[in-house]
Amino acid sequence: MTEIPAIPSPFTFDPATTALVIIDMQRDFLLPGGFGESLGNDVALLRTVIEPLAGVLACARAAGITVIHTREGHLPDLSDCPPAKLRRGNPSQRIGDPGRFGRILIRGEYGHDIIDELAPLDGETVIDKPGKGAFYATELATVLRQHSIATLLVAGVTTEVCVHTTVREANDRGYECLVVADCVGSYFPEFQRVGLSMIAAQGAIFGWVADSADVIAALGTTAPVTA
């Protein structure tokens, strides 16, 4: 077992049964001029995640930990997008509309894909999800079962939306979750702070919170997991 200093208590995990789950690090959310910015958000706050997360990703790969990426998006005909979701947001920049990086949040478009800095490697699972949570209407549960995963190290964007929803879904399914504080990002500093507090409150009601430096230090001490 490996231990990471964390809030509210040290977090122990077995690298062989742990997956790094990277939520929605997509161009539509992170690139200046993209969908996130068009909603009136400051993407600079999200972009602070890229460097520490690239470090955690490199260490997870070196340690042989299962890596799973997710992307929020919809089929080109929008048949998997509830009308209520479609109606939200700025009327001139809705899901499926043409944006600077292609049709917004549509599978196959440039903006829907993951940023270059965190591009998945061949063999890493990419989960396409129509909702905020990574379990809803996806094959994630099956993939985790196939890899005998019990623990999730969670990173990505945004803290209070897709990260929170996924951690809550995972918690209800019996997974232990560690959220990497500087590897999750919100457009709103207040939501970042409160979102992280809510994870670890009440004796880790949804999971644990730790910094990337501590995750990297812990991963560096583990012998590589072999398949």
Q: Is 157 in the site for ligand TIU (CB under 6 A)?
A: yes
Residue 111's SS3 state is helix
Stretch of 5-13, 91-99, 154-162, 177-185 contacting ligand TIU, by CB under 6 A: 154-162
83 contacts: CB under 8 Å, gap ≥ 6:
none
Told to check if 162 binds ligand TIU by CB under 6 A, we report yes
Nearer to ligand TIU, 158 or 222 (CB): 158
Report, as residue numbers or ranges, the catalytic residues: 24, 129, 162
Does 161 contact ligand TIU by CB under 6 A?
yes
Judged by CB under 6 A, the residue of 18, 38, 158, 222 near ligand TIU is 158
Closest CA to 147 of 9, 10, 14, 8: 14
Give the CA angle between residues 129, 134, 135 to the nearest 5°.
Answer: 105
Which residues are paired to 208 by β-bridges? 178
Q: Which stretch binds ligand TIU (CB under 6 A): 8-16, 153-161, 193-201, 207-215?
A: 153-161
Nearest approach, Cβ of residue 41 and ligand TIU (Å): 7
What is the smallest separation between the CB atom of 161 and ligand TIU, expressed in angstroms?
Answer: 3
Helix, strand, or coil here: 51? helix
Residue 72 binds to ligand TIU (criterion: CB under 6 A): yes
Range 20-59, binding ligand TIU (CB under 6 A): 24, 29
Size of the site for ligand TIU (CB under 6 A): 8
Estimate the share of the chain in helix, then strand, then coil, as percent rounded to the nearest 5. 40, 25, 40
Distance CA 174, CA 13 (A): 14
Residues 6+ apart with CB under 8 A from 217: none
Q: Under the rule (CB under 6 A), what is the footprint of ligand TIU? A: 24, 29, 72, 132, 157-158, 161-162
